Amino acid sequence: MRQYIKNATIVNEGRIFQGNILIENDRIAEISETTATPRQADRTVDASGCFVFPGVIDTHVHFREPGLTRKADIESESRAAAWGGVTSYFDMPNTVPQTTTLEALEEKRQLAAQKSHVNYAFFFGATNDNAGLFSQLDNHVPGIKLFMGSSTGNMLVDREESLRQIFSTANLPLVAHCENTDIVNQNMKQAKLLYGNDPSVTLHPFIRSEQACYESSLQAVQLAKTYGARLHVAHVSTARELELFGLSDNITAEAVVAHLLFTNRDYDTLGTRIKCNPSIKSVTDRDALRQALANGLITTVGTDHAPHQLSDKIGGAAKAASGMPMIQFSLPSMLQLADEGVITLERLAELMMHDPARLFNIHERGFIRTGYKADLVMVAPNSPWTVSPDIIQSRCGWSPLEGHTFHWKVVQTYCNGHLIFDNGRFDENSRGEQLSFR
């Protein structure tokens, strides 16, 4: 199968240029920067007026399978990914059963091979007593997820001895959720004394506070420095935490889209729809995170895509579930920030495509290069559309962005050279591949 994308504006490796891409089967066969010349192809796409990026790599999702499929599953959420230009994802281990054994890891891989529309990989979850398994993980595991915060079931690693063992033996990147459990619990206790058993969601950023995030991130950074571990702090949510990054190539940080879009002012209108852990915080924090996208203190942008049924979101800071579905709208959201001058298109490609591939050593993806897998997304500027329930692909059926109008639109998504999404038409029979890491 030969496909020819001509007259595109290509965004790749720090450059924006007019060019053409020839795809042969699942790989990029040729990239040319001249005016489009005829190529013998089974399909030719004129991309005039459109931008072509490498496919988005979302390194932080919760697709809920196995065990939590009333909320979502691999099929529905990978479909939402493709609609949003995401061609690869890393799924987190807090499912049922949790991905903390080799057997549970293999079960998820088998499910994804049958059901995932785009490329996939699964984090292995650390516990207080499973560090001995790290040496048995193969080159299809991107990293080890470490929960240093509460509300994660028995995956919370809270023993100093266990943390030291994990940081000293991890042979893969450690991706850490950092919130100090003791601080969060004390804040919740105080809020309940003052406001009842389920305080308003507007108190969520004071319960899951800046201090809780900073103290835990500081502990993780100190452990990484002590043992020389490769640490990536997930979903940084405060300006203060940013002080910890930029001093070592082995210690990096992720921002997620929700913390870049929303602030505590939005609780008044969106309520628990934007309740997540770590919490949405102040305008100052959001603006500092946005600045960190440009200055390099933030290395990757993910979604922490975490669908819940709306019935799970009823309540306040104590009772409502934390998490929101974001994967279908992450690329349009980041393109909106580019329009607002927060980042350049070149920097967007670094944060969502290139740096995830570099940080986790993904084999032959994340760039538009000859010989690489043909994972591509085509987007059209000046193409307004509004988020409405009928276009939401996630099984949960809602989004905190409902009613929002975007001005960039995903036109096509290619995964392994296959045109999986084309102007609202979706190939239900498409299947992604298991990712490999060098």
Cα–chain-centroid distance for residue 434? 17
Count of alpha carbons within 13 angstroms of residue 419, beta-carbon side: 18
Alpha-carbon gap, residue 95 to 65, rounded angstroms: 6
- pLDDT (tens, 9 = 90+) of the chain, 438 residues, equals 999 999 999 999 999 999 999 999 999 999 999 776 778 899 999 999 999 999 999 999 999 999 999 999 999 999 999 999 999 999 999 999 999 999 999 999 999 999 999 999 999 999 999 999 999 999 999 999 999 965 445 688 888 999 999 999 999 999 999 999 999 999 999 999 999 999 999 999 999 999 999 999 999 999 999 999 999 999 999 999 999 998 888 999 999 999 999 999 999 999 999 999 999 999 999 999 999 999 999 999 999 999 999 999 999 999 999 999 999 999 999 999 999 999 999 999 999 999 999 999 999 999 999 999 999 999 999 999 999 999 999 999 999 999 999 999 999 999 999 999 999 999 999 999 999 998
Contacts of residue 249, defined as CB under 8 A and 6 or more positions apart, other chains included, come to none
User: In whole angstroms, how far apart are CA 36 and each of 14, 52, 369?
Assistant: 22, 15, 18
Q: pLDDT of 91-125, one tens digit each?
A: 999 999 999 999 999 999 999 999 999 999 999 99
Which helix (H) or strand (E) covers residue 182, if one does?
helix 181-195
Its pTM surpasses 0.85 = yes
51: closest CA among 330, 409, 424, 420? Answer: 409
146: closest CA among 58, 38, 223? Answer: 223
Q: pLDDT of 144-196, one tens digit each?
A: 999 996 544 568 888 899 999 999 999 999 999 999 999 999 999 999 999 99
